[in-house]
Chain A
Amino acid sequence: MMNKRSALARRIVEEINEIARAIGREVRIMDICGTHEDTINRGGIREILPRNIHLFAGPGCPVCITPVEDIAAMMKIAEQKDMIVTTFGDMYRIPTPRGSFSDFRARGYDVRVVYSIYDAYRLALKNDRLVVHFSPGFETTTAPTAGILSEVVERKIENFRIYSVHRLTPPAVEYLLKEGTRIDALITPGHVSAIIGVRGWRYLTENYGIPQVISGFDPLDVLLSILMLLKMIQEGRKDIENEYSRVVEEDGNIEAQEKIERFFTVRDAKWRALGIIPKSGLYLRDEYQWLDIRSEIDAPAMELPDLEAGCRCGEILRGLALPDECPLFGRVCTPSTPVGPCMVSSEGTCSVFYKYRKRGMGAMENGG
C-alpha cells in the first residue's frame, strides 16, 4: 500500500515539476477549506512544490468568519430567557470582545457543545426547555440544518430554534477576486461541492477565467488537483474539473439543495474580518422566520471590533498572508492562548499551521 502511494506521489510530483518549469512564471493557487489546508500541511505539500507554485489559504473556516456581533447577540438573547444554547466545539471557544461561549457558560449560562445539529434536536426532544442551536457553517453544514428544521416542522416540535449564521462559499471567492486578491487557480472544496455540485462553482470559471479543480482530502488528491490545475494553466484552458468524482456529481445533492432552498433565502451578510459580502448569507424565509430565535427575542444592534490589535487573521482569510508572517503567531498567539479566531478553530489556518509547524519536510521528496 505504502509503495503504491509513494510511487503515485512521486509520479505526480515529477509531472508537477515538469509542468511548473514549462509554465515558468509564478502561479498562485488558493484553497478555501480548512480540511484541505490540514491535508496540505500534513502532507508537507507546500514544501515539495516547485518554487514558482504558491499555495495560499482563503476563508475556509466558517466559525472564523462568524461575526462577533452575532455571537454577542446570541449571548444577549440567552440572558433574557431560560434556554439551552448548543453549538459546535470550534464555535464554543471563538473569542469576541464580549468573551466566548465558553466564558458565557462559566458565567452560569447553559451552553452545550454538540457534534451535530441532530444532537441539539434530540436534546430538545428529551427536554421541556427551549433549545437554541447557534448554527454556523457553509453549504455542507447548512444541509443538515435544513434537514432537522424539516423534521421540527413536520413533528411540530415547539422547543427547538436556531440562530442561523450560515454562509455560502462561492460568493466569498468572487468577493476576494473583486477586492483584488490574486488567484490564478482554485482548489475547490470537495464537500461543499458534494452539496452544490460542479454546477454551483462553474460561474466563477466562466465569469472570472479561474481554472478550478474540485478536490478530495487525501494528500494524493490535493497533489493530483494541483497537477490538473497546472496542466490547465499550461494549456491555457479555463475549465472546472472534478478530481473528487468518487463523491461529487455535476448537479450535487439535489435532496440537500431542495431542503436548503425550502428554508433559506440568500442575503448580503457580514463575514468577520472581511466585511459585507453580497448574497453570501443564508437567512430563514419569511414563512419559517419563527424557527429563528431572533423572531422572538431581539438583541440590541452593536458594533464591535472584529479582531484584537495586531491580529492578522483578516489578511490570512483573504489569502494575503500566511500565519508565519504574523508577529503574534506562535509567540503571543497559540492554540492555548489564541488572539484571533484563525488560531482557535481546528479549521483555522493559524491553528493548522501551528499543529504541523514542528514537523520537518514532507515525506514525499521533491522530484525536481
Chain B
Amino acid sequence: MMCLAIPGKVIKICGSTAIIDYGGVRREARIDFVPDVKVGDYVIVHTGFAIEILKEKDALESINAWMEVLGGNDE
C-alpha cells in the first residue's frame, strides 16, 4: 500500500473506472474522486483509486519552476 509516485496516463474511461497506462503496463483504477478526468490526463493512483489529476506531468518541469521562484544561483 505504498504511495505510487509514478503518474499514469488515462487511456479509456468506462463508468466509475478507467484504464491507466504506465508506459505499456495497463491497470484498472476507480475514478470516483476525479470526476473531471479526461482521456489523456495523467493521474496519481493509490490502492486502485485515482486520487488526483496532475497539473504538469513532468516532475523536472515543476522542480525547475520552483528553482526559478526560489531564485538560486544560476549555472
Contacts and interface: CB of A to CB of B under 8 A. Distances in A.
Given A216-B5, A224-B63, A141 B46 contact: yes
A205 B1 CA distance: 28
Chain B residues touching A, range: 20 to 34
Contact of A35 (B3, B30, B63): B3
B32 A245 contact: no
A253 B52 contact: yes
B52 to A, nearest CB: 5
A263 to B, nearest CB: 13
Contacts of A220: 59-60, 63
A85 interface: no
Interface string B36-65: 000000001011110110111001101110
A243 B75 CA distance: 22
B2 interface: yes
A246 B3 contact: no
Interface string A1-40: 0001101101110110000000000000000011100110
A112 to B, nearest CB: 15
Contacts, number: 129
B72 interface: yes
6 contacts: A11-B73, A140-B46, A144-B47, A147-B32, A221-B59, A246-B59
The 3 closest A-B pairs by CB, nearest first: A116-B48, A217-B5, A35-B3
A231 B67 CA distance: 12
A88 B48 CA distance: 12
Interface in A216-260: 216-218, 220-221, 224, 227-228, 231, 243, 245-249, 253, 255-256, 259
Interface of B: 1-3, 5, 16, 30, 32-35, 44, 46-49, 51-52, 54-56, 59-60, 62-64, 66-67, 70, 72-73, 75
B8 to A, nearest CB: 13
A307 B46 CA distance: 29
Consensus secondary structure, chain A interface: helix
A62 interface: yes
Nearest to A144: B49
Interface in A313-336: none
A194 B63 contact: no
Interface string A117-147: 1110000000000000000110011011001
Given A33-B3, A245-B55, A255-B33, A8 B67 contact: yes
B3 A15 contact: no
A144 to B, nearest CB: 4
A14 B73 contact: yes
Contacts of A14: 73
A223 to B, nearest CB: 9
Interface in A90-127: 90-91, 115-119
B70 A253 contact: no
B57 to A, nearest CB: 8
Contact of A8 (B46, B52, B64, B73): B64
Contacts of A347: 1-2
A173 interface: no
Given A35-B2, A194-B52, 11 more contacts: A7-B75, A34-B2, A115-B48, A116-B48, A137-B47, A190-B3, A217-B3, A224-B63, A246-B62, A247-B52, A253-B34
